[in-house]
Amino acid sequence: MHSEENNSRRKFIKLAAIGSAALGTAPLAQAFATNQTSENLQNPGNKVPARKGKSVMGLRCEPLKTVRIGLIGIGMRGSGAVGRLLQVEGVEIRAIADVVEKNVKEANKKITDSGFKPAVEYTEEEGWKKICERDDIDLVYQCTPWLMHTPVSVYAMKHGKHAACEVPSAVTLAECWELVNTAEETQRHFMMLENCCYDFFEMNTLNMARNGVFGEIYHAEGAYIHDLRWLKFMKEGGYYNRWRLDFSKLHTGNPYPTHGLGPVAQVMGINRGDRFDYLSSISTNQIGMTLYAREKFGADSPDARQSYKLGDMNTTVIRTVKGKTIMIQHDTTSPRPYNRIHCLSGTKGMAVKYPEEQIALEPNAHEFLKKEDFEALMKKYEHPLATQIGAKAKKVGGHGGMDFIMDYRLIYCLRKGLPLDQDVYDAAAWCSIVPLSEKSVLNRGNSIDIPDFTRGAWETASPWPIVTID
């Protein structure tokens, strides 16, 4: 575990003690008035550490006939991944790990029920290390809690494996650099599993953007607005040891930016022709988790007396070096319908996904397109991946099919020896918003530089193309 995390853990224990003593029965506004204390935080600047390996921009590795997977973390997300991966051609799940034995047994039943040999099982705390050390694994696929993501991925790459990891793949700036440096040193693929890049409207609007439908896109918006209070506070059957709630106790800013950010960053050619320059981030006070805990467990319950650092709504604005802006929001606490926004605003028109998929174009961009014109445009610019595997993806499922398209493309690229759709630079840039938004929030929204994880390669790299499969 990194010293940054150790520090925050120590800080957390101290804060928790202070928080529960100070809160008592004070009114909410008073109790949380000091939520956003300004700290004398250093702007990390664009300090770029010396490169240890060589660039992995456009990395191609040896094609794999069969992709032999070691799957680590088989909770709510990982169990879905097992079901999907078993339906992708050219996959064998060779080894599985989870500290909850039932999860491992259920996964292996799915594997054998699908006609495959049982996977080797690991249930001890560090069983994931043994998976990374095996010589019959090509890809370590990880769906564990956030704090495991970078350590496991780094260990996997250092043992010669490609690594695919759930979002966010890193939660500190040190972790972002560790992923980049390890991928460059080992020349292994690292892909963050940002499934929203494969949702149908996102792919469709990417295709439209590449074809100039919106003109030049100067501003985009994304979000993760998802009322998760019930799941975060669930004591049994929810997140393992309530890991997501623990993170909310420790951290503010935007801990989960990539669902909204990934798709718009791809559209805007981030790390490929443009890059993030700096951000400013502000958060509301934390109110909703405490209200929920008071209502559900009582005002004197430990959950209600606990202090939570995570503000209910966080708004982060990123400016790119080419003068474009991206607004990203995070709110997992307020009673609101699910929303990732996905808004693209260009010189010829705009698209928005939530609450309803809509497009407006010049010469009449004052109004959204009529249903039949919208549908004709969507058909004309349907993404080839949707045409090619959209129907199967919808059948297999996983957030309406996007999860299957993501897995399919990942395995397809590994089998063909192609560069992956999302690389380690994307993961680092998108995840750097986690620690940097927190720093900005704690510093009254002051701007914070975002490092160039590509070390200059963004200037000559081409925007990610419209990819297909055979």
Q: Is 247 exposed, middle or buried (0-12, 13-18, 19+ CB in 10 A)?
A: buried
Question: Cβ 322 to ligand NAD, closest distance in Å?
Answer: 29
What string marks each residue from 146 to 185 as x (binds ligand NAD by CB under 6 A) or -? x-------------------xx------------------
Question: Cβ 203 to ligand NAD, closest distance in Å?
Answer: 16
Q: Which of 69, 70, 75, 157 binds ligand NAD (CB under 6 A)?
A: 75
Distance CA 304, CA 292 (A): 8
Question: Cβ 363 to ligand NAD, closest distance in Å?
Answer: 38
C-beta of 74 vs 318, nearer to ligand NAD? 74
Residue number closest to ligand NAD, CB atom:
75
Residue 76 touching ligand NAD (CB under 6 A): yes
325-331 and 343-346: which strand pairing? unpaired
CB 287 within 8 A of CB 312: yes
CB 143 within 8 A of CB 74: yes
Residue 239 touching ligand NAD (CB under 6 A): yes
Q: Which of 70, 73, 346, 401 binds ligand NAD (CB under 6 A)?
A: 73
Give the number of other Cβ atoms within 10 Å of residue 284's Cβ. Answer: 17
Give the up-direction half-sphere exposure of residue 111: CA atoms within 13 A in the CB hemisphere.
Answer: 25
C-beta of 44 vs 145, nearer to ligand NAD? 145
Distance CA 344, CA 358 (A): 11
190-192 and 162-165: which strand pairing? parallel
Residue 77 touching ligand NAD (CB under 6 A): yes
Residue 120 touching ligand NAD (CB under 6 A): no
Q: Which of residues 122-141 bind ligand NAD (CB under 6 A)?
A: 125, 128
Q: Which stretch binds ligand NAD (CB under 6 A): 34-42, 73-81, 108-116, 459-467?
A: 73-81
Q: Is 102 exposed, middle or buried (0-12, 13-18, 19+ CB in 10 A)?
A: exposed
Q: Which of 23, 31, 71, 72 binds ligand NAD (CB under 6 A)?
A: 72
Distance CA 371, CA 327 (A): 27
Question: Cβ 171 to ligand NAD, closest distance in Å?
Answer: 10
* 3-state helix, strand and coil shares in percent for the chain, rounded to the nearest 5: 40, 15, 40
Enumerate binding residues for ligand NAD (CB under 6 A).
72-78, 97-100, 103, 125, 128, 143-146, 166-167, 193, 195, 239-240, 399
